[in-house]
């Protein structure tokens, strides 16, 4: 083994010497950090995490099965609820089918967050604690991008398909409703998808900002707990909070301070039209607010992230 390496340099020496010695300005030749670079890196992350999860096949299927089971139990629970009542809240329009659009949307968003965002937020916190964030800081690419996407837990995507199925089923039922049928246009479906994206950005921003605090705290293991609290609040139509002092307080807090109530409510309202025919004024004002909040939260998370990085201490050697 030692001989191997000792003799090798002589053999390959010529090959290297023939190449130009890098000069001082060599690195400045490439300045493009366009979207294409980010796309290629993202694709590699997708590839690597896929290869990785396939490497642990049994684990992959177990995770799929357990999360699908949990989701189906969730559905059964709401089936039972709707055997006692016709709608969630009085005159809100959230009947069984409308609510199943809402529920399916929740699954879609939750699945996407748990596939793409949560593993990375968690990992980011871990990188800080162990000092492995060093490597991310060395790379000539946006650090926030680099830590936001490397890990993807693909088994969590199983619920995405269940969500799509549920939304599709409930929408078809609503369209077939004889007394007050739902009519959908492309614009509405487009807006639905767009506001799902906004919801994802809001949740991403909240989680990344939370994870960034690990730099000051040393470690932050409350991420999943925090995520659990969030999901508990955003998975309900916001109308249920709109009564009494406590209800309105919660509503105000989760709409304006930590605006997670907008995440599912806005796209679900746009698609299910609980107060049809047509989208009411309220839905439009919430949509406007969501747009604003999305940009604001993204900016805020970026600011927190950058501020945190300057305090990074790089644990251990």
Partner 1 sequence: MVTRIAPPEKPWRLASPKTMPLIEIDQLSKHYQVYQKQEGLWASVRGLFHRQYRQITALDAISLQVERGEFVAFLGPNGAGKTTTLKILSGVIHPTSGTCRVMGHVPWQRANAYRRRFALVMGQKNQLWWDLPAQESFRLHQHIYQIPAEQFQATRDELVDLLGLAKLMRQPVRELSLGERMKMELTAALLHRPEILFLDEPTIGLDVVAQHNIQQFLKHYQEVRSITILLTSHYMKDIEALCQRVVIINEGRIQFDGSLAEIVGKFDQERIVSLRLADTTGIADLQQFGRVTRSQPPQVQLRIPRSQVTSALTEILNRYQVDDVSVSDPPLEEVFAHLFTQGREATDQGASAPKEDMAGSRRLTGEARH
Binding site for partner 1 (CB under 8 A): 1-2, 4-6, 8-9, 12-13, 15-17, 21-22, 24, 26-28, 30-33, 37, 40-41, 44-45, 47-48, 51-52, 55-56, 130-132, 134-135, 137-141, 143, 146, 218, 310, 312-317
Collapsed DSSP state (helix, strand, coil) of residue 95: strand
Which residue from 301, 118, 291 is spatially nearest to 198, judged by alpha carbons? 291
DSSP letter string, 188-201: HHHHHHHHHHHHHH
Q: In the complex, what is the shortest distance from the CB of residue 226 to partner 1, in angstroms, rounded to a whole number?
A: 20
Q: How far is it, in rounded angstroms, from Cα 172 to Cα 193?
A: 17
Residue with tokens 């492309």: 186
For the CB of residue 301, give the shortest distance to partner 1 in the complex, in Å.
Answer: 19
Other CB atoms closer than 10 Å to residue 22's CB: what's the count? 8
Q: Which residue has the tokens 């246009």?
A: 185
Q: Which is nearer to partner 1, 130 or 243 (CB)?
A: 130
Between 47 and 79, name the residue whose CB sits nearer to partner 1: 47
Q: Which is nearer to partner 1, 52 or 173 (CB)?
A: 52
Query: In angstroms, what is the minimal distance from the CB of 101 to partner 1?
Result: 38
Residue 130 or 242: the one with the smaller Cβ distance to partner 1 is: 130
* Nearest residue to 38 (alpha-carbon basis) of 144, 113, 194: 144
| Closest to partner 1 by CB, 106 or 151 | 151
Phi/psi at 87 (nearest 5 deg)? -150, 160
Give min distance, CB of 22 to partner 1, in A: 6
Q: Is there a contact between 225 and 231 (Cβ–Cβ < 8 Å)?
A: no
The minimum distance between CB 33 and partner 1, in angstroms, equals 6
The CA angle 73-76-82, to the nearest 5 degrees, is 145
Query: Could you tell me the CA-to-CA distances from 304 to 160, 208, 211, 229, 299 in Å, in that order?
Result: 30, 9, 10, 21, 9
Report the nearest approach of partner 1 to the CB of residue 27 (Å).
Answer: 4
Single out the residue of 252, 219, 257 nearest to residue 238, CA to CA. Answer: 252
- 146 or 230: whose CB is closer to partner 1? 146
Instruction: Give the angle 222-52-68 at the CA atoms, nearest 5°.
Output: 60
Cβ proximity to partner 1: between 110 and 125 the closer is: 125
Least distance from C-beta 9 to partner 1, angstroms?
4
On the 0-12 / 13-18 / 19+ scale of CB atoms within 10 A, 15 is exposed
Question: Taking Cα atoms as reference points, which of 279, 258, 282, 272 lies closest to residue 207?
Answer: 258
| Residue at token pair 């642990």 | 56
Residue 115 CB, nearest approach to partner 1 (Å): 18
Question: Whose Cβ is closer to partner 1: residue 15's or residue 90's?
Answer: 15
């Amino acid at each position: 083994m030692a001989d191997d390496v000792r003799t090798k340099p002589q053999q390959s020496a010529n090959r290297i010497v023939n190449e130009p010695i890098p000069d001082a300005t060599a690195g400045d030749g490439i300045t493009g950090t366009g979207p294409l670079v980010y796309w290629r890196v993202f694709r590699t992350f997708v590839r690597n995490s896929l290869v990785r999860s396939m490497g642990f096949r049994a684990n992959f299927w177990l995770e799929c099965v357990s999360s699908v089971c949990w989701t189906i139990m969730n559905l059964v629970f709401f089936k039972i609820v709707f055997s006692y009542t016709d709608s969630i809240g009085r005159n809100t329009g959230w009947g069984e089918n409308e609510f199943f659009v809402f529920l399916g949307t929740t699954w879609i968003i939750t699945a996407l967050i748990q596939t793409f965002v949560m593993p990375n937020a968690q990992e980011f916190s871990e990188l800080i604690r162990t000092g492995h964030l060093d490597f991310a800081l060395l790379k000539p690419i946006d650090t926030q991008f680099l830590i936001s996407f490397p890990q993807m837990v693909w088994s969590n995507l199983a619920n995405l398909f269940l969500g799509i199925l549920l939304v599709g089923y409930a929408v078809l039922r609503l369209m077939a409703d004889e007394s007050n049928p739902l009519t959908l246009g492309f614009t509405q479906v487009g807006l639905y998808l767009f506001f799902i994206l906004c919801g994802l950005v809001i949740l991403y921003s909240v989680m990344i900002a939370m994870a960034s605090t690990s730099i000051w705290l040393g470690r932050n293991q409350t991420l999943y707990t925090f995520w659990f609290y969030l999901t508990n609040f955003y998975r309900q139509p916001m109308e249920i909070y709109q009564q009494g002092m406590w209800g309105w307080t919660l509503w105000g807090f989760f709409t304006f301070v930590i605006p997670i109530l907008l995440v599912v409510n806005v796209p679900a309202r746009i698609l299910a039209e609980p107060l049809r025919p047509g989208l009411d004024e309220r839905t439009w004002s919430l949509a406007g607010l969501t747009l604003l909040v999305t940009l604001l939260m993204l900016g805020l998370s970026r600011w927190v992230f950058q501020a945190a990085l300057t305090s990074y201490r790089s644990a251990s050697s």
